[in-house]
Amino acid sequence: MEIVYVYVKKRSEFGRQCNFSDRPAELHVDILPDPSLAANFIDRDPCDVPIQCTQEMSEHEVSLLSTIHVPYGLKMLIKPGTMAPPVLSADVNPQEMEQTIRYRKKVEKDENYVNTILQLGSVSVTVKSVKFDRKVSSIFSWILSLFRDPNEVKRTATSLSWHPDGSQKLAVAYSSLEFQKVSKDMSYDSYIWDIEVSNKPEMTLKPVSPLVCLEYNPKDSHILVGGSYNGQIAYWDTRKGSQPVEMSTIEHSHRDPVYKVIWLQSKTGTDFFSASTDGQVLWWDIRKMSEPTERLVLDPSKKGKLDQALGAISLEFETTMPTKFMVGTEQGMVVSCNRKAKTPAEKIVCTYSGHHGPIYSLQRNPFFPKNFLTVGDWTARIWSEDIRESSIMWTKYQTAYLSDGCWSPVRPSVFFTVKMDGTLDVWDFLFKQNDPTLSIKVCDEALYSMRVQDNGRFLGCGSELGTTTLLEISSGLCTLQRNEKALATAMFERETKREKILEARHRELRLKERSRSEQSKEDETKETEGEESAEELVARAEREFYEMVEAEMKKREKDEKIEIDQVRNGVC
């Protein structure tokens, strides 16, 4: 959807093209000088003439102002005695109570009023649905601006970060995530955009390797930290220019692309940590970027082996839980960790399994930190910290792959997801559980990243071709509804209780199955103990054979001895 298109053209190229040709000079008018007019002028000496060294350009800007539509109620009246469509009464103001009561009494005195009401009884359901649809009509959004990658070789908008003060700026990281398909002409630059000016970026960030993730410092809006495709970490100070202030050394950096960086809640405001598919989580301080301050290997066996570590794709850190953090892996598992544990093995607390592919997004609910959202494969899942076997809520499998998602910062029951078919889905599980409340076809190419402004009003989506789309969400989706927290709490508690019951039942079935298998193993061992092995049978057969042969030989010797004795006695 084209919103703004910039035309850049030299002023000399406007209008009809001028064609020149050589021809003899012609004198049309000859005006001779009049010396008497010289008395009216004064010679200027010296004479200063300002000129510009650059080409003259023409620029024209158009600002599209968003219009807020406020719905006003109109009283709909139906002609008595007919089933005709309702007409509007222009004489009755629904805001004036006296006019409304006066007109109601007038209508009720009509002789056809009762018959008309009885005839309209079957339409009451339709009237309710009209009222319901009017409520739904307040849930919508529209596209405000498009921020396109200004380079010829387009790259994917892999990460978005809103400016912490006022949120009038949006930092976008650009990188190509296709393995070994990086063009030589591809730019490494990332940009900071002013949402009011979509023609050109406000500032350019120049890393040594394309940025995969980028994050503003919430305590100092001039500081940004980014993770590169080659595994290095760099930070910028917008007051010092486009070049990074300091970078991590290659030997102490990640070995794979850095997919996520998050600032920590600290007194200095200079600490952050990063995650990569090399299986490491590293903690950093921008005052000393030469090496990380701490390191954790995501080895599920808790032996600290890097070759067995799980590759990290997403990170989650809640400021109200300063010692806890969570990691989403490319194997489809969520690893819950505790930074302040005594040993590296104790830092990995538990794991949650439920996705069939990489977990691209992981975030705790801002209102209920014990519940967190994961986005991966074809589903989005909501988990409870107390249930490790399964998620408590999940969307049905979508036709397109999900690439990112996040919670609404102002509504506890609303979350957003983006898909590979260019669609943005808005989910409100208090309104619908099986289908999204709102689906928007943002663009034709795949969407890879998204980020919601802190006030929940604006939302940015980054696409595969580097186009960042800025959308404005209607007030119905970014305003806390009445009793929404209580309803969301009841929903989470109910689903958690249900999953606990199912988990206990599954555990009981597993114990029964285990006891059965152990009993069958014991029976098998008893049977094997009662039966002799093949070697024992052969040995016993040989022993019995030799015993029989020996017995036969002894018997023959005895018989021969008896015969000899008999012969001797007969001779005598």
Give CA torsion, residues 160, 164, 170, 173, to 10 deg.
-40
Backbone angles phi, psi at 156, to 5 degrees: -80, 135
**Confidence (pLDDT) at 251:** 92
**Alpha-helix runs per DSSP H in 428-533:** 484-530
**Confidence (pLDDT) at 121:** 57
- pLDDT tier at 62 (50, 70, 90 boundaries)? low
pLDDT at 83 over 50: no
Burial of 314 (0-12, 13-18, 19+ CB in 10 A): buried
pLDDT at 428 over 60: yes
pLDDT at 128 over 80: no
Higher-confidence residue: 304 or 287?
287
**Confidence (pLDDT) at 72:** 40
Within 8 A by CB and 6+ apart from 141, the residues are 426, 438, 440, 459, 471, 472, 473, 474, 477
Tokens (6 digits) for 560: 């021969």
DSSP string, 44-94: -SS------SSPPB------------------EE--TT--PPPEE-TT--T
Q: How far is CA 522 from CA 251, 530, 532, in A?
A: 55, 12, 17
- pLDDT tier at 538 (50, 70, 90 boundaries)? confident
pLDDT at 105 over 50: yes
Average confidence score pLDDT of the chain: 83
Ranges 82-91, 495-504, 517-526, most confident: 495-504
* Percent with pLDDT over 90 in the chain: 42
pLDDT at 199 over 90: no
DSSP-derived letter for residue 221 is T
Count CB neighbours of 416 within 10 A.
27
| CA–CA dist 279, 297 (Å, integer) | 6
In tens, the pLDDT along 218-273 reads 999 999 999 999 999 999 999 999 999 999 999 999 999 999 999 998 888 899 99
In tens, the pLDDT along 148-175 reads 999 988 999 999 999 998 778 999 999 9
**Confidence (pLDDT) at 11:** 66
C-alpha radius of gyration, the chain, whole number:
41
User: For the domain with range 142-484, which CATH number is right: 3.40.50.1820, 3.30.9.30, 2.130.10.10, 3.30.465.10?
Assistant: 2.130.10.10
| CA–CA dist 318, 363 (Å, integer) | 9
